[in-house]
């Protein structure tokens, strides 16, 4: 894929990996729409031309409005990146706050499902498009103390693999990205012991972009430091 003049939606695009991806793709002269819960109002950055929209990925109506506004403004959606995600500090399952677990699953799983649903409604009309779901190496292997987080990512991975089979006949690409730890504010509450060895967002962004540009992109992209 030639990454230029594409309309790209990135959820959770105001911080960390999402912000890095949006900036890298904007430099390549793509049209970028990012979302975030902390955005006070919709606005376009005059320098980067990135359109920022307030939206909560756990709210299906917000995501529907996001897709509709993107199409109304730019006419299409070429790439949709489901990047929004949260993490809970390591703890035995009996010590977890189940309300927080519910919310994490809403973000990590249902946020991905909502984004994919409304991206696909438009992409099927266009008869082409690419969905990228940012997952985690925790979707590949269980980890003590991270049972709930792993469950949310395993579920999102299963959804992504099934969706890929569902839409391949529609000329729509669905890519899973499995990353090791990334240095972002996701871990502000509790930094894992190995945090100093985590990857920089820009490194991961470049790997994702290189895969999108490849003649035959990997369906399951595993990024290690």
Q: Phi/psi class of residue 16: alpha, beta or left (left: φ > 0; alpha: ψ in -120 to 50)?
A: left
Instruction: Provide the pLDDT for residue 39.
Output: 76
CA–CA gap between residue 194 and residue 183 (Å, rounded): 11
Which of 118, 149, 178, 195 is an active site residue? Answer: 149
Q: Is 149 a catalytic residue?
A: yes
CB atoms under 10 Å from CB of 187, counted, come to 16
Residues 6+ apart with CB under 8 A from 49: 26, 31, 32
Please provide the CATH number assigned to the domain covering 7-223. 3.40.50.720
- Tell the burial category of 142 from Cβ atoms under 10 Å away from its Cβ (0-12, 13-18, 19+): exposed
* Residues 105 and 156 sit within 8 Å (Cβ to Cβ): no
The alpha carbon of residue 192 and the mean position of all alpha carbons in its chain are separated, in whole angstroms, by 22
pLDDT tens-digit profile, the chain (225 residues) = 999 999 999 999 989 999 999 999 999 999 999 998 777 666 677 677 799 999 999 999 999 999 999 999 999 999 999 999 998 888 899 999 999 999 999 999 999 999 999 999 999 999 999 999 999 999 999 888 889 999 999 999 999 999 999 999 999 999 999 999 898 777 666 677 677 888 999 999 999 999 999 999 999 999 987
Domain ranges of the chain: 7-223
- Locate 71 and state its tokens: 């199409």
Instruction: Sort strands 43-44 and 51-54 into parallel, antiparallel or unpaired.
Output: antiparallel
């Amino acid at each position: 894929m030639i990454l230029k003049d594409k309309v790209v939606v990135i959820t959770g695009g105001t911080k960390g990996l999402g912000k890095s991806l949006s900036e890298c793709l904007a430099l390549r002269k793509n049209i970028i729409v990012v979302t975030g819960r902390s955005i006070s109002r919709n606005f376009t950055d005059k320098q980067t031309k990135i359109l920022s929209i307030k939206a909560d990925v756990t709210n299906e109506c917000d995501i529907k409005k996001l897709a509709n506004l993107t199409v109304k403004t730019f006419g299409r959606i070429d790439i949709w990146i489901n990047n929004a995600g949260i993490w809970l500090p390591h703890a035995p399952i009996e010590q977890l706050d189940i309300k927080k677990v519910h919310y994490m699953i809403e973000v990590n799983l249902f946020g991905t499902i909502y984004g994919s649903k409304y991206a696909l409604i438009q992409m099927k009309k266009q008869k082409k498009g690419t969905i990228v779901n940012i997952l985690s190496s925790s979707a590949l292997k269980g980890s003590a103390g991270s049972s709930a987080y792993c469950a949310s990512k395993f579920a999102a991975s299963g959804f992504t693999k099934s969706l890929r089979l569902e839409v391949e006949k529609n000329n729509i690409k669905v890519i899973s990205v499995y990353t090791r730890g990334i240095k972002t504010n996701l871990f502000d509450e509790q930094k894992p012991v190995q945090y100093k060895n985590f990857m920089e967002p820009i490194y991961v962004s470049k790997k994702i972009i290189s895969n999108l540009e490849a003649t035959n992109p990997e369906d399951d992209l595993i990024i290690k430091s």
